[in-house]
Structure 1
Amino acid sequence: MDHAPAPATDDAASLAALGVRSDFDRSMSMIENFALGFTYLSPVVGVYTLFDTSLQAGGGPMIWSYVLAGIGQFLVALVFGEVVAQFPISGGLYPWARRLVGRKWSWVTAWVYVWALFTTIAAVATGAAPFLALLTGGSSAPGLTTGIALALIALSTLCNLAGTKLLARVAMFGFICELVGALFVGGYLLAFHRVNTLGSLLDPMNAAPTNGSYLPAFLAASLLGLFSCYGFEACGDVAEEIPDPGRQIPKAMRMTIYIGVGASIFACAALLLAVPDIPAVISGKSPNALSDVLMNAFGPMGTKGVAAIVMVSFMSCVLSLQAAVSRLIYSFARDGMIAGATSLSRVSTRHVPFNALYLSGLVPGAIVLLGLFAQDALTTIVSFAVVGIYVAFQMVVAGALHARLRGWHPSGPFTLGRWGFAINIAALAYGVLAIANILWPRMPDAPWYINYSMWIGLALVVVTALAYLALGRPHLRGNARHADAWLIAPRRR
């Protein structure tokens, strides 16, 4: 657990002791670091993107997927907190996996996570288009949706290139707008437009088969919670841009779970209690429950105001995602682990990895363009993004357990003490079950390549990672430390 504050330390010297030299500017405060994680998690983006789909799949009880995912991800955040406290290195999952297990494991972890973040950026940018259409009164035709997504990614890239200070300020602005907006919209709906009882949050209605179990419907709807309860790891991706990261980042991660998941549950509950006819949504007769609720409650002009808040949330979410993946690419390249390492590890005079940022804009942009020609593009992209991130997460959680079994005793300012093993095992069990649920094929009538699209996407990413590893042997480049977590003696407290 957290220990009493220590005297101020030289963060550069602490990094040097880990064999790392940083070119970043430590200008991000703890609250701004939290805001980065919050806007990445983005309660509004998660709820507003998948509300209709999840409600139709599982009815009102789908809200409890937030609780289960929140508890599971809190366990993961505790494990991450221990690791980042000892290894506060930019790039998050990649350097953590490198120090916990080794070079090959970290290479595959980083490759999976990079592509998961690329697809997440594309998914979030694409998901913003209908809300901009609602705000402007325009259409949401595929071509326009693609153009809006590309413009959002380009704008986010420009903001990120401006430096850490602007990133932190935009994240704070996005956090304030999103939290205030979620509380206002949710509070207004509960006060003036609640038409359902609290019992509807426990009643599956016709989402449950007459003579069968409700569990399959709930598991199908739980993508809402699984998609919405991560983002806290972004706090660790910028570890070299915040003072005293070993103490501050674990706090920011936990705050992201407390406040972000709490806001998500509140916003989702308010919307559910304002849906006039939940059975009609489940049956498909009323497929646009979210827009119907907002229009009934706020009217055309008020709905535009809500859409404006949602657009700020989408923008700040893309910004935070890009910041996270660019730092991962930079950290990967700094260790010489990828083609173009010299270029991708360059840092601008504004202390940002500018070439890594360009790449984090170009690749998601290409995915958006590919989505223009794919059936059910948003659902497919979001689904792969979620499973990719969960797989990368669990590679770190499994890596932490591996290191513990080798004799690792976490030695940072935040540790779990005697509870470390139990929490690590519980976090791994949660993650494995979540991955199994995400990958479970649920469309037997669809073509096999649609029903198994997530399997195909995950297999493609893992196979390319292993092929690159075998043919290029990138893990042998550079001399950055690896597999040394259990060799570092615990500090005296």
Structure 2
Amino acid sequence: MTERTVPSSDAERLAALGYRQELRRSLGVLGNISMGFAVVSPVVGLYAVAQVGMSIQGGAWIWALPVCLLGQLLVVAVYSELASQWPLAGGAYQWARRLVGPGFAWMSGWLWQFAVMFANTTVAYLAAPWLFALVGATPTPVGLVLVAAAFMLCCTLVNAYGINLLRWFVSAGIAAELIASVLVGLALLLFFRQHGFALLTDTLDASAVTGTGGLGSLLAVIAVGGWAFIGFDACVSTAEETKDAARQVPRAMRWALLSVGVVVILNAVSVVLAHPDPAAVIAGQDLDPVTTAVVTGFGDWSAKPFVLVVVVSFTACLMASQGGAARGLYSLARDGVFPFSRQVRKVNRRQAPIGGLVAATLVSAAALPLGLESTAIGSLITFGSAATFLPFFLLSVAALTARLRGTWRPAGAVSLGRWGTPVNLLAVLWTGFEVVNICWPRAVLVPPGAPWYQVWAALLGVGLVTLTGLGYLLVRRPQRLMTAQPEPELATA
């Protein structure tokens, strides 16, 4: 990957792209990395996939993780060229607008926004049981929803205070998470391992319990494993608040994804090898193999500190993800192409996108009552994964199409050079495969006896959001408000 010189300052480049600096540009590369790291979150990602992975593929499930990581690195490579040339908040919308056109761009932004906002719903809801565990209380369905709403509100208040406070909270959270997760993973692997490494290639006859074959199980685990490596595009959301964004945002995405990938794979291996009874996970008798492995290894005293680490991880994840959603809405609303744009585009005196933050929080909170029914929240989680990969696919297709047509030649500070087209093609194949793989209806990925709509949740959810977006596009025609923006001149070597 090569770099080119872009002589203009951040503010000048933003002006050349048609916008004025409204958000506070104070993040360095480490601050930007922290946003992506927090949203991807190794602890949150591992909890989202470990139990399902082990129950479907036994100890061999961990091999899905490097496959998903390599696939997502292809996406990051394409995103790096786009973010370098157009370092703007709301990347999916802004890039597609320049690569393809207004209608396609608006739908890409619409899908990405709802994927992130509903993902925030699930993060808040999944954090609630840990908050109860932290104080030793027994959760109820209503209690979980109320605590999740309060948790979401607290994170919103931090976001509203501005990027500097958000950066401080997120950085402190990921520092604690990184230190704790690496130390715990290494300790489990080096001192509390209960199985040989051969377990990592053993499915433990999980297919006999799940009723799926070898290939079917592997595809199901890859579908779930992709969830552990999404969120790096939060680095793009804060591009207009990052110094030297054309260079630093691509670097931040790569480092955020790679660092999280290493930690997730380390801890996944450690949990499998330190778990006292992996067969119990397959049989559905242990629904929390991560905590089981940690408490078994370190002793009962470790339960509370471990819960605290998980709570900190969820807090950093939700804060950073909320911030990304708010900035994406701000990017759409300042062009007047989102409902209630005048209100949503507002920036407060601390230069935080307060309108987008309020709108994103209201949408996320509105979905929290689904938590009163566990199967419904499960459907939302499944939808969130599919809806996140769909914009990855759409952007990859848009970039490849523009390359082949000759209408886009990467002209930012970062370029893949002659490798750009083949890498882009691989990104299209990977994301297209994963969209189909996640949307494929599988009874094995839902609780026994779950209603039919949860089995089809990914396809139904994506279809509903897409149809709603198309309806708004046809009725309100927001694409008419989009005009082509001039491109800044780049210095020649």
Q: Same fold (TM over 0.5)?
A: yes
State how far apart, in whole Å, the 2-side matches of 1:393 and 1:490 are. 27
Q: Deviations over 1:66-97 (max 9, x none)?
A: 10111010000010000010001111211111
350-359 or 49-58: bigger deviation: 49-58
State how far apart, in whole Å, the 2-side matches of 1:64 and 1:28 are. 35
Deviation at 1:53, TM superposition (A): 2.2
**Which amino acid is the alignment partner of residue 455 of structure 2?**
N
Deviation at 1:214, TM superposition (A): 1.1
**Which amino acid is the alignment partner of residue 466 of structure 1?**
L
**Which amino acid is the alignment partner of residue 352 of structure 1?**
A
Matching of residues 324-473 of structure 1 within 5 Å? 324-372=324-372, 374-407=373-406, 408-443=408-443, 447-473=451-477
**Which amino acid is the alignment partner of residue 460 of structure 1?**
L
Q: Indicate the residue corresponding to 2:20 in structure 1.
A: 21
Q: Deviations over 1:405-461 (max 9, x none)?
A: 231110000000000000000001000111111011112975432221211111100
Kept after mapping to 2: 8 A contact 1:51/1:224:
no
Q: Indicate the residue corresponding to 2:35 in structure 1.
A: 36
Kept after mapping to 2: 8 A contact 1:30/1:249:
yes
Kept after mapping to 2: 8 A contact 1:190/1:270:
yes
State how far apart, in whole Å, the 1-side matches of 2:122 and 2:417 are. 39
Q: CA RMSD in A?
A: 2.0
Number of residue-to-residue matches in the alignment:
487
* Structure 1: stretches of 5+ with no match in the other structure: none
Deviation at 1:489, TM superposition (A): 7.7
Q: Deviations over 1:356-408 (max 9, x none)?
A: 10111111111111332x34234222111010010011111111112112311
Q: Indicate the residue corresponding to 1:195 in structure 2.
A: 194
Matching of residues 166-315 of structure 1 within 5 Å? 166-209=165-208, 213-315=213-315
- The 3 A distance-change label for structure 1 pair 231 and 464 is same
Q: Indicate the residue corresponding to 1:105 in structure 2.
A: 104
Deviation at 1:8, TM superposition (A): 6.4
Deviation at 1:250, TM superposition (A): 0.5
- The 3 A distance-change label for structure 1 pair 193 and 140 is farther
**Which amino acid is the alignment partner of residue 264 of structure 2?**
S
State how far apart, in whole Å, the 1-side matches of 2:62 and 2:358 are. 37
TM-score, normalised relative to structure 1: 0.94
**Which amino acid is the alignment partner of residue 327 of structure 1?**
R
Kept after mapping to 2: 8 A contact 1:126/1:368:
yes
Kept after mapping to 2: 8 A contact 1:9/1:244:
no
**Which amino acid is the alignment partner of residue 411 of structure 2?**
S
Q: Indicate the residue corresponding to 1:72 in structure 2.
A: 71
State how far apart, in whole Å, the 1-side matches of 2:135 and 2:301 are. 11
Kept after mapping to 2: 8 A contact 1:112/1:392:
yes
State how far apart, in whole Å, the 1-side matches of 2:454 and 2:101 are. 35
Q: Indicate the residue corresponding to 2:92 in structure 1.
A: 93
* Structure 2: stretches of 5+ with no match in the other structure: none
> How many percent identity over aligned positions?
34
Deviation at 1:107, TM superposition (A): 0.7
460-469 or 393-402: bigger deviation: 393-402
- The 3 A distance-change label for structure 1 pair 461 and 142 is same
85-94 or 124-133: bigger deviation: 124-133
- The 3 A distance-change label for structure 1 pair 19 and 64 is same
State how far apart, in whole Å, the 1-side matches of 2:262 and 2:188 are. 17
228-237 or 440-449: bigger deviation: 440-449
Q: Indicate the residue corresponding to 1:474 in structure 2.
A: 478
Kept after mapping to 1: 8 A contact 2:224/2:438:
no
TM-score, normalised relative to structure 2: 0.94
Q: Deviations over 1:465-489 (max 9, x none)?
A: 11100011111125453xx88xx88
Deviation at 1:331, TM superposition (A): 0.4
State how far apart, in whole Å, the 2-side matches of 1:40 and 1:450 are. 25
Kept after mapping to 1: 8 A contact 2:411/2:490:
yes
Deviation at 1:337, TM superposition (A): 0.5
- The 3 A distance-change label for structure 1 pair 7 and 423 is closer
